[in-house]
Amino acid sequence: MKLETKYHGILNYEEEDIITFAKGLPGLQELKKFILVDFEENPVFKILHSIENKEIGLVTVSPFDVVNEYEFELKDFIIEKLKIEDSSDVLVLNTVTLSTKAENITTNLKAPIIINIKSKLGEQIIVDNSKYMVKHPLLRSE
């Protein structure tokens, strides 16, 4: 199938690529179905794109590429809800806020998106850890 997007051109996907967010995502509760595509210019990033709205595509990054010791506990009800059977089925992503100035690009470490890549179910959670910020600088200043 083809998805003609506003900002990312035409994206090709299959039915089995669709990730379902039962509650949607915060601020996008009406959108439940997304696909995950590689960001062509930089493989560190992925686009979580709605298939229900061609204008909505979230730039994401793995928190483990940003913070070496990123960790949090997945609550049992989330594990059950997303039908997680093995930790290797879990993909963790964080949204990225872009800026024209590289030093102002941030990622939201406080609210990771959890995806079961096997069941294709996802949910964004809030991590109860004060060391993780909503606007964590993506680039470290040297």
Per residue in 37-50, pLDDT (tens digit) is 998 778 889 999 99
Tell me what the pLDDT averaged over the chain comes to. 93
pLDDT digit string, tens, across residues 54-113:
999 999 999 999 998 999 999 999 999 999 999 999 999 999 999 899 889 999 999 999
* Amino acid identity at 22: A
Q: Which residues contact 24 (CB under 8 A, 6 or more apart)?
A: 30, 31, 32
CA distance 130 to 80: 26
Other Cβ atoms less than 10 A from the Cβ of 35: the count is 20
Quickly name the fold that domain 2-137 has: BH3618-like (2.30.290)
pTM over 0.85: yes
Give the total residue count for the chain.
142
Q: Confirm if 80 and 123 have CB atoms less than 8 A apart.
A: no
